[in-house]
Amino acid sequence: MAIEDDVLVVGGGLAGTMAALSAAERDVDVRLVTHKESTLRHASGLIDVLGYAPDGDGPIVDPFEAIPDLPDGHPYERVGLENVREALSRFDSIAGDAYAGGHTDRNALMPTHGGTVKPTARYPISSAAALASDDRDALLVGFETLPALEAPLTAEHLEAAGVPFEARGVTIGFPGIRRDDAKVTRYAHLLDHDEPVATGSGETGAREALVGAVEPHLDGEKRVGFPAVLGDDQTEEVRAALEDALGVDVFEVPMGPPSLPGLRLEDLLYDALEDAGVQVRSGVPVVDYETDGRRIDRVVVDRNGAEIPHRASQYVLATGGLVGKGVDSSRERVYEPIFDCHVPHADDRYEWFVDDAFGEHPFARFGVVPDRDLRPLDADGEPEFPNLRAAGGVLGGYDYAAEKSGAGVSIATGYVAGKRAAEEVDR
């Protein structure tokens, strides 16, 4: 017997979770299935809406002012400005006090671990004191065993970028960690639980030991930035303790994968799914589907070698793009691997990219083409299936990396796809 729901979401990243939450708040039964762990753990935790225009102009001050000028086919153009605003408002209600930036339409300028300044619309509260618009001098602290943040080099890059403050970087040993293969969660765990660690003057709590290691390097700076490892469950408590002891504002510098801010965001979203009554099944790839006429009747998932059918009235595809394998390719073609939805591309594979490594590669915009209801369209411009919608990275028509728009597109299209699916559930 098939497991039956009103809405089935395929994919557990930002787009998939937002689709499931959006559908669930409209009083329908929702299930989310995902093959692998969420890609959120590899994300910076920043919520970028639109940092640069498709032609490269930017950084954009007000993304909401720029969205109406986006070309036809861009995911934001498909869902419309008001839905983008609604979706971000819904995200804000989920994130609560954990995120800042919802008070203004203007992008914030956030320094990153590479020393670049990134325009972003929402950011973890743990990074709030990092903003490049703040003219207070900053000390950046890196750890010898954590090469993800080379603090002196990051400080040099920030000053070269023209930030309105002096940045200085130092590298110290992290108390209690002597190996460079320690996971970021190990740093967080030590600080969360204030575990005792050995120092030159004896054993003390990890927080006090870290303060003792940093204090000699302070030289009048009013804020100190650390790699984003300041606790997991108790991040704000850890940060407050460091601020009180050091007498300065403390912030986390967003870093690449693996990312504790990404893991914290994942926890927020999956807690919200549980509260909303969404059934979540992970480790179950969709391996097949069946139709009833033109509609998808059921999908089949692989659960430890057993093929389990799942039937729903409506489906949302949120499996990611080329990186997440939601869009795949062979030497002959580019395709969407679950439902084989149409992905436009040149017949000659050598036209999928350009010679300049930093050029505008066509493959960056590969993805399914949606109508304004986010239903994937076939080669003739007709919906592939009337009860299938797509959201997030699987959509084409935009370059999320160049535009700095990936999280915003996932939130907006996920929200709309879930809403439309719930509205079309068979009653």
Q: What is the mean pLDDT of the chain?
A: 93
Residues 6+ away with beta carbon under 8 Å from 371:
78, 377, 383
Is position 328 within any domain? yes
Is position 391 within any domain? yes
3-state secondary structure of 262: helix
Residue 427 pLDDT > 60, yes or no?
no
The predicted structure's pLDDT at residue 356: 65
- Express each pLDDT in 210-224 by its tens digit: 999 999 999 999 999
Same domain, 360 and 288: yes
Share of the chain above pLDDT 90, in %: 79
- Helix, strand, coil % (nearest 5) of the chain? 35, 25, 45
- Express each pLDDT in 77-114 by its tens digit: 999 999 999 999 999 999 999 999 999 999 999 999 98
| DSSP string over 151-172 | HHHHHHHHHHTT-SS-EEEEEE
The predicted structure's pLDDT at residue 377: 97
Is position 355 within any domain? yes
Answer yes or no: are the C-beta atoms of 396 and 366 closer than 8 Å: yes
Give the domain extent around 171: 113-254
Same domain, 274 and 419: yes
Is position 330 within any domain? yes
DSSP state of 351: G
3-state secondary structure of 6: strand
Q: pTM surpassing 0.85?
A: yes
Same domain, 139 and 11: no
- Express each pLDDT in 115-127 by its tens digit: 999 999 999 999 9
Same domain, 304 and 410: yes
Total number of domains constituting the chain: 2
The predicted structure's pLDDT at residue 178: 86
- Express each pLDDT in 22-38 by its tens digit: 999 998 999 999 987 77
Residue 91 CB-half CA count within 13 A: 36
Residue 359 pLDDT > 80, yes or no?
no
Is position 370 within any domain? yes
- Express each pLDDT in 161-206 by its tens digit: 999 999 999 999 999 898 877 888 999 999 999 999 988 878 999 9
Amino acid in position 359: G
Same domain, 182 and 293: no
> What is the domain-level CATH number for residue 417?
3.50.50.60
Domain termination residue (choose one: 254, 287, 306): 254
Res. 354 pLDDT band, cuts 50 70 90: low
3-state secondary structure of 229: coil
Same domain, 216 and 325: no
Res. 357 pLDDT band, cuts 50 70 90: low
The predicted structure's pLDDT at residue 350: 65
| Whole-angstrom distance, CA of residue 398 vs CA of residue 385 | 23
Is position 103 within any domain? no
The predicted structure's pLDDT at residue 365: 80
Residue 276 pLDDT > 70, yes or no?
yes
Same domain, 350 and 228: no
Same domain, 271 and 236: no
Residue 285 pLDDT > 80, yes or no?
yes
Is position 108 within any domain? no
Same domain, 235 and 379: no
Domain termination residue (choose one: 225, 254, 283): 254
Domain termination residue (choose one: 196, 220, 254): 254
Average pLDDT of 407-416? 98
Average pLDDT of 317-336? 88
Residue 358 pLDDT > 70, yes or no?
no
> What is the domain-level CATH number for residue 121?
3.40.50.1860
Same domain, 135 and 223: yes
Same domain, 291 and 269: yes
| Whole-angstrom distance, CA of residue 371 vs CA of residue 218 | 56
Same domain, 289 and 390: yes
Buried b (16+ CB within 10 A) or exposed e, 334-343: bbbebbebbb
